[in-house]
Amino acid sequence: MSEKVKIKIARNVVHLPVIALRGLVVFPNNVVHFEVGREKSIAAIEAAMHGNSSVFLVAQQEMDTENPNREDLYAYGVIADIKQALRVSDDLVKVLVEGKTRARLLELETEGRYLQASVRPAPVRGIAADKRTQCEALVRSLKDCFEEYLSFSPQLSKDVVYNIISSDNPLFLSEYMPANLLLKYEDKQTILNETSLLTRLEKLLTLLREECQVLEIERDLDEKVNAQMDKGQREYYLREQMHIISEELGDAEDTRAEADGYRRKIEELQLEPDTAEKLLKECDRLARMQSSAPESGVIRNYLDTCLSLPWHTATEDDLDQTHARKVLDQQHYGMQKVKERILEILAVRKLNNDVKGQILCLVGPPGVGKTSIAHSVADCMGRKFARMSLGGVHDEAEIRGHRRTYIGAMPGRIISAMITAKSANPVILLDEIDKLAGDYKGDPSSALLEVLDPEQNRTFKDNYLDIPFDLSEALFITTANDASTIPGPLYDRMDVIELPSYTRTEKFNIAKRHLLPKQLKNNGLEGRVTMTTPALYEIIDGYTREAGVRNLERTITSVLRKCAQKIAAGESEKISISASAVKQLLGPEKVKPTFISRKDAVGIANGLAWTSVGGEMLPVEVAIIPGGSGKIEITGSLGDVMKESAQLAISYARVHAEKYGIAADKLKTLDIHIHAPEGAVPKDGPSAGVTLTTALISALSGYPVRHDLAMTGEITLHGNVLPIGGLKEKSMAAYREGISTVLIPKDNAVDLYEVDAEVKEKIRFIPVEQLSQVLKHALIMPGQTASRTAPAVPQATSLIAGEKAPKEPAAVM
């Protein structure tokens, strides 16, 4: 009759069937298979299989004990799950188990068909914060000792070796190594008994060193025995065997000739003595091997990679300013500040040929031409170009390469780029450097610190090559959308060049001079299709909203494809695209008007926000609800910092209520609702303070806010206006929406130098340092004239938004 196992858990105590192991110790997180022959052990397996497949595995102290008691078993064992049980015969069962949890044996019941025990899970104590350095040192020593152990015990499987070498997890190593190394079971039990992870690592290191000493003594003894043989006779016998085998296979001369060929190429390169010596040693190893040996293929790949590097091959720089300016103007419209910066770099290189270490970082929204600028720099200087994308790279080995101990090892991306460029001084583009990601495999941004440091990259050592290579002659250019996500030490090594968003006029010229001719050629429409100026402006204004020109190019291509379809169908031979034709081809305009205050209104103020793809307008609405209890409601996916700005605005309104005709007791009977439209877009940042305060004072006082005015700035509790970031992008958003006046913090006035000249011609920037100045410019007080384009809207507290614009990235006020 089958018997089901009941597991009782009380105060973390578990009641399980027990299997006493002879000469075997099982560790957590390890899969083990063994045979069971004793009746009680077989019965314990059957009971566990009828229960939840859990069983307690514990080693017995003496292997010859047939019916062990509590005193015959060790105090610690492992709770394991039975994965598979196969009955070979009546008295033999093969079992496959997986260790789950280390546990302590509390009580043992020997009566019955099988052993049962009460056990309590006993996980290993972790490492205290002040002991982490000691733990790291132990892990390193343990792995070094393991490498020495490998030299004596090469019979370990590659999976075991890889798992140990590639892991730095102390708990994993403390369980995996004793479970898979050839240690005595008493030593393994000693390690399992240790409750402290630090002590366990120390004992494991001691045991491993002792084992290495024993193995070394055994090897010495074997060598002494073998040395007694006649050395000459033994060598003669072996060499004759090798000669006959090589002749039969026909590869002896091949490998020797191949090694000689590599040796000649290495000597012709005239490398550094240490580098040449290492490569020549690999040639000697290859000469002694058979061509069919797997290791010979690894050596060939290594030598081919090293010889394909451009050790002494470089292009001559073309630093002529006129040629460089011509290339830049031909390939890019506008971007005068960026072009001047590049020409300055070329000028310095012309005056000082030894200048090195200039790492350029192009920062700007998507689609503004960062990658194409890097191509242009290479064309200007007459250098080779190589590009490597860093977006999503999370493995340090992608940068430094893999060690040759691993199967399928290869050099890192930096060395691969140098091989691709076939030049020692190429322009290497590191694209999307702000999107690097680190995980347990390492931090690639830390590996790039050496690559982008001119004091270190002279002797850059790839893990695969294991020989130094000079990267100081290469010109590295990186790109990023958001410089704030680049790690500080990495950002500090780079010379940052900011690429701003394009204005409407710049987009038109780029489309007319570059995008349209390119797509006409790609679609086979040269001489068959023309596009008028109004048509291009219609595409820019009605169908694209972006900082760059990627969507603009896609939309132009879409229009041309539809024209190509008509010409291919024979409907027309030549087509001229007008603004109305664009609407017929593409349908209704996709870009809807941004929801901002279009009329002078009470309780609505136009703010400015920064996003990763450029600036945006971000209005703030405030509604006053009479008959309330002073409750304040804040909506619109606002972050904590922005909510705090709203609290500051409310406090300022209470303090200065009398100045703006607001009854002091009025606030106690009103509910205030503050809302930022586009509720699905997260918003945060302190620079919405002036916008929130203006909208709140307007709603409480009834004074309208000018609709043709936008503002930005952080506020203090006493009404001071503090500086903000992203003024260039925010001013571009105001320009795009036709705003005529922008209020900025006084301390940001110096940043107007970076604002495009076209924007400064259309917008009047007013520096302010107090909230009273903001309200003076923004509110239409009694006796003042409303904005010329629209009359004031009396007592309006909110506007109904029109159709929502396309979803935007998170905004930072």
State the residue for tokens 């048509």.
535
427 close to 475: Cβ distance less than 8 angstroms: yes
Helix (H, G, I), strand (E, B) or coil at 14: strand
| Pairwise CA distance, residues 311 & 470, whole Å | 8
Helix (H, G, I), strand (E, B) or coil at 384: coil
Integer-rounded Cα radius of gyration of the chain? 38
Cα 132 off chain centre by: 26
Structure tokens at 547: 């900082």
Q: Which one of the listed residues 339, 507, 599, 730 is annotated catalytic?
A: 730
Structure tokens at 535: 């048509």
State the residue for tokens 């060395």.
415
618 close to 636: Cβ distance less than 8 angstroms: no
- Alpha carbons within 13 angstroms on the beta-carbon side of residue 293 total 17
Query: What is the DSSP code string of 739-804?
Result: --EEEEEGGGGGGGGGS-HHHHHH-EEEEESBHHHHHHHHB--TTSPPPTTS---TT-------SP
**Residue count of the chain:** 813
Per-residue three-class SS string for 279-343: HHHHHHHHHCCCCCCHHHHHHHHHHHHHHHCCCCCCCCCCCCHHHHHHHHHHHCCCCHHHHHHHH
| Pairwise CA distance, residues 813 & 811, whole Å | 6
| Pairwise CA distance, residues 201 & 126, whole Å | 12
The percent of the chain in helix, strand and coil, each rounded to the nearest 5, is: 45, 20, 35
| Pairwise CA distance, residues 797 & 623, whole Å | 5
| Pairwise CA distance, residues 311 & 673, whole Å | 69
Known catalytic membership, residue 730:
yes
Q: Which one of the listed residues 597, 687, 698, 787 is annotated catalytic?
A: 687
Contacts of residue 38, defined as CB under 8 A and 6 or more positions apart, other chains included, come to 20, 66
Known catalytic membership, residue 572:
no
Catalytic residues: 687, 730
